[in-house]
Structure 1
Amino acid sequence: MKITGNKLYQRVAASITEAIEAGRWSPGSRLPGERDLAEEYKVSRPTIREAMIALEMKGWIEARHGSGLYVTKREHGGGERADSLNFDVGAFDLTEARILFEGEAVALAAVSITDEQIAELEELIAEMAADDSNEPSVMDADHRFHLAIANATGNAAIRSVVEYLWELRVNSPLAANMFARAKRGGITPRVEEHRPILDALKAHDPHAARNAMRRHLRGVVDDLLEATELEAMERARSEIETRRDSVARRLKIGSA
């Protein structure tokens, strides 16, 4: 099945709710795995993940630890329809946009940044490193670090775009939910990933600055993928690790 249109995760979520209402998956039944759904709908696994989180937030499905995702037993008929599943921007789309805009913003900033602005970034990194166990403080310093870079471009429009993308982390329900999951998983901004960005800015090297920013934000995507991994995949990984340990033990015995 091929899904078309904007906000792909919404289209997938809407199609799944329609299938539930049509009886393809009855209340209490388990949904197919993430990989199977991605193949069926011809979309990426991150898109399926955003769709599943949107459906879970709306109460259409529920995650059961170590088992997977199941259709809830509530009556959907006459309730919220599939076309009401508008959660705006997901965290993956948001971070992809940040890679694009902030990658170019930092390259521009590398050309025009002042010593005073570099000193401000130094202080913000020191602030993040000083108390990395204080999550709200680290997040605030991280936010100000990225905005300071946007401000260093000297372009008010660029700063406004970067600020808007950061606001979406809170104002988009789906993105906020996904970042909250990452937070519960103990994932916080990585201070060490900010240092190469600052080093490139100090060297006034646009190419290195762009690459460092993109590496940092791709790390955010990796963190989100890990934090939002579906229960079925978590169980599969656990089973694989158990088998791997068992094989390793057997091989060790055989070589003794």
Structure 2
Amino acid sequence: MFVALEPRRLYRQAAEQLRTLIQSGEIPVGERLPAERELAERLGVSRPTVREALIVLEVEGLVQIRMGSGVYVNRRVAGDTKILAADDSEAPFEILQARCIIESAIAEEAARHVDETGIRSLDLILEEMEDALENSERALALDRAFHTAIADIIGNSSLNVFIGLIYDKRSSPFFEKLASYFEGPHTWRAALEEHRIIRNALAARDPAAAREAMRMHLTLSQKRFSESFGEEPTREE
């Protein structure tokens, strides 16, 4: 029924295999899919990869995710399904991992260049973010502003553009769908506190601390997107 996947855009391959099983009727309409852990074992991939695949299928309309209950095959006409283009965008967890690697290095370098003007800019963003935790759209814009402001400290406009571009990759339909399940005031509060740790490391002009603070922030961001859709409690991979 399931075939282990090769390490090439795994979430797309996982989505394709599940889509085929659903459209062929092997997984009937209305049936709950196996739990994430079981799907990950059968497909030979991580649970985050399974979550990315399930989000693709929900955006396409093939499945319905019911938090705390599981993922069910949707009751709709198969011919109405719009399959997302294979190169639509990178996987959400790949984007977050790339940001972790790149932005940690940028934070480290920023700590070597930071001045009072740069810290004031960060403080203004954090003050605004404090008042925007209930407004996800505004919080998202301020989150982006915080990360690009750190690149600004170095004084390299190309870095600012690059960070903005990689951040904006989270605007894909299935990244936004993933965020709709796991982002909210509590996650923005956590992000705000992590931003303050980054800010303090930069203000102390401590490159190692700034690098670690950014690495931890973006690692925890990945974990916040790694909750289970299913009925079983989340465990470490």
TM score, norm. by length of structure 2: 0.85
- SS of residue in 1 equivalent to 2:31: coil
Cα distance in structure 2, aligned partners of 1:68 and 1:127: 37
Mapped contact 2:111–2:201 kept (Cα < 8 A): yes
Q: Paired residue for 1:74?
A: 76
Q: Paired residue for 2:119?
A: 118
Name the CA shift for 1:206/1:184 in 2 (closer, same or farther; >3 Å). closer
Mapped contact 2:114–2:153 kept (Cα < 8 A): yes
Cα distance in structure 2, aligned partners of 1:222 and 1:194: 16
What CA deviation, in whole Å up to 9, does each residue of 1:15-72 have, x standing for no partner?
1111223332122222111001101111110000111111111111123465322222
Cα distance in structure 2, aligned partners of 1:169 and 1:143: 11
Name the CA shift for 1:128/1:98 in 2 (closer, same or farther; >3 Å). same
Cα distance in structure 2, aligned partners of 1:14 and 1:38: 14
What CA deviation, in whole Å up to 9, does each residue of 1:177-196 have, x standing for no partner?
11222235753253211122
Name the CA shift for 1:186/1:87 in 2 (closer, same or farther; >3 Å). farther
In our comparison, the structure showing a higher alpha carbon Rg is 1
Cα distance in structure 1, aligned partners of 2:102 and 2:55: 26
Q: Paired residue for 1:146?
A: 147
Mapped contact 2:27–2:73 kept (Cα < 8 A): yes
Q: Number of residues paired by the alignment? A: 231
Cα drift, residue 134 of structure 1:
4.5
Q: Paired residue for 2:175?
A: 175
Cα drift, residue 159 of structure 1:
1.6
Cα drift, residue 130 of structure 1:
4.7
- SS of residue in 2 equivalent to 1:187: helix
- Any residues of structure 2 matched to 1:213-228 within 5 Å, and which? 213-226=214-227
**Which region of structure 1 is more displaced relative to structure 2, 67-76 or 212-221?**
67-76
Cα distance in structure 2, aligned partners of 1:111 and 1:39: 45
TM score, norm. by length of structure 1: 0.80
Cα distance in structure 2, aligned partners of 1:132 and 1:35: 32
Cα drift, residue 160 of structure 1:
1.8
Cα drift, residue 14 of structure 1:
0.4
Mapped contact 2:178–2:225 kept (Cα < 8 A): yes
Q: Paired residue for 1:93?
A: 94
Letter in 2 for 1:106: A
Mapped contact 2:125–2:145 kept (Cα < 8 A): yes
Cα distance in structure 1, aligned partners of 2:27 and 2:183: 32
2:30 pairs with 1:28:
yes
Q: Paired residue for 2:51?
A: 49
Cα distance in structure 2, aligned partners of 1:74 and 1:131: 38
What CA deviation, in whole Å up to 9, does each residue of 1:104-139 have, x standing for no partner?
111111111222112211222223235544544433
The 4+ residue runs of structure 1 with deviation greater than 6 A are: none
Cα distance in structure 2, aligned partners of 1:9 and 1:44: 10
- SS of residue in 1 equivalent to 2:90: coil
Q: CA RMSD in A?
A: 2.5
Q: Paired residue for 1:250?
A: none
Letter in 1 for 2:210: A
Cα distance in structure 2, aligned partners of 1:70 and 1:148: 42
Q: Paired residue for 1:37?
A: 39
- SS of residue in 1 equivalent to 2:231: helix
**Which region of structure 1 is more displaced relative to structure 2, 28-37 or 186-195?**
186-195
Cα distance in structure 1, aligned partners of 2:185 and 2:151: 29
Letter in 2 for 1:187: T
Identical-pair percentage: 32
Cα distance in structure 1, aligned partners of 2:87 and 2:201: 39
Cα distance in structure 2, aligned partners of 1:73 and 1:86: 27
Cα drift, residue 202 of structure 1:
1.6
Letter in 1 for 2:201: A
